[in-house]
Amino acid sequence: MQVLAVNGSPRKNGNTAALLKTVLEVCTNAGFETELYQVGGREIHGCKGCKSCWKNKGRCVQSDWINELYPQMKIADAIILGSPTYFFDLTPEIKAVMDRTGYISRADGFTFNRKVAAGVSAVRRAGGVATLDSMQHFFLINGMIVPGSSYLNVSLACEPGDVERDAEGLQTMKTLGENIVWLVKKIHG
Ligand SMILES: Cc1cc2nc3c(=O)[nH]c(=O)nc-3n(C[C@H](O)[C@H](O)[C@H](O)COP(=O)(O)O)c2cc1C
């Protein structure tokens, strides 16, 4: 079983990365293959809406890292998107991942349908739920199955490393990891 986490924070070793690693560690310990893919801070372009992916079956006409990331999302059993909260919403990197791989996957035969999916967010004070909602809309409109946790998957943190002081936030990530493992096994067991 494969779990792919995508970090949309430009801080490679920031709070969102720490949250994603916490979820992945649980999955690794359960014997799953895991990978953390860094997108935050990379050059990004939004979807052009040109519909070339419908002709090119699963490839974007813009030749960049999205064409490297999409095949990894396509084979993953579970996908976790991580974004810090920026002005009550996602980072543009994660938005670009959602728009572009979402369209590509639909052109490629709705390949995200019934994959397990979850979003996580690091937030200094407020807006984390809106960020999660944006990711969850993407999951639900693409037929993905979203497990819950012991609370919403948000941790209160500002400077890198702050997540370590949010015990409840970390526990929420661990429980999320356990529920991802449980759900993937139920689906593929
Ligand atoms: C451009 C920008 C916008 C932000 N907007 C918010 C916000 O709306 N609400 C909030 O509580 N924190 C906000 N923050 C703080 C980040 O969410 C917080 O520092 C988070 O821990 C960053 O995660 P990271 O270490 O993974 O990058 C913002 C930070 C930046 C750089």
What is the DSSP code (8-state) at residue 163?
A: G
Q: Band of the pLDDT at 58, cuts 50, 70, 90?
A: confident
Distance from C-alpha of 58 to C-alpha of 80, rounded to nearest angstrom: 20
Q: Is 94 in the pocket of ligand 1 (CB under 6 A)?
A: no
Q: What is the mean pLDDT of residues 164-188?
A: 97
pLDDT reported for residue 167: 97
Whose tokens are 């560690």? That residue is 25
Whole-number percent of the chain with pLDDT over 90: 97
* CA distance linking residue 85 with residue 166, whole number of Å: 16
Amino acid at 101: T
* pLDDT tens, position by position, 27-50: 999 999 999 999 999 999 999 999
Of the chain, the percentage scoring pLDDT greater than 70 comes to: 100
- 81-87-89 Cα angle (round to 5): 30
Q: Is the CB of 11 under 6 A from ligand 1?
A: yes
- Sequence spans of domains, the chain: 2-188
DSSP string for 90-132: --HHHHHHHHHHHHHHHHTTSTTTT-EEEEEEEESSS-HHHHH
Cα–Cα distance for residue pair 56/30, rounded to 1 Å: 37
Ligand 1 pocket test, pick from 124, 154, 159, 166 with the greatest ligand atom count within 8 Å of Cβ, gives 124
Which tokens is 24 given?
Answer: 């992945």
pLDDT in tens, 80-92: 999 999 999 999 9
Query: Which protein residue has the closest C-alpha to ligand 1 atom 22?
Result: 84
Q: What is the pLDDT of residue 108?
A: 97
Helices then strands, counting H and E runs in the chain, come out as 6, 5
The CATH superfamily holding the domain 2-188 is Flavodoxin domain (3.40.50.360)
* Residue 160 pLDDT exceeds 90: yes
Residue 128 Cα, ligand 1 centroid: separation in angstroms? 9
Task: Indicate whether residue 82 lines ligand 1 (CB < 6 A).
Answer: no
63 pLDDT tier (thresholds 50, 70, 90): confident
Q: How far is the CA of 112 from the centre of ligand 1 (A)?
A: 29
What spacing in Å lies between the alpha carbon of 124 and ligand 1's midpoint?
Answer: 6
Q: Residue 57's pLDDT is what? A: 81
Q: How far is the CA of 41 from the centre of ligand 1 (A)?
A: 14
pLDDT of residue 135: 98
Angle at which helix 167-188 crosses helix 15-29, to 10 degrees, equals 40
Once rounded to an integer, what is the mean pLDDT over residues 97-111? Answer: 97
Mean pLDDT of 163-171: 97
What span, in angstroms and rounded, lies between the C-alpha atoms of 38 and 4?
11
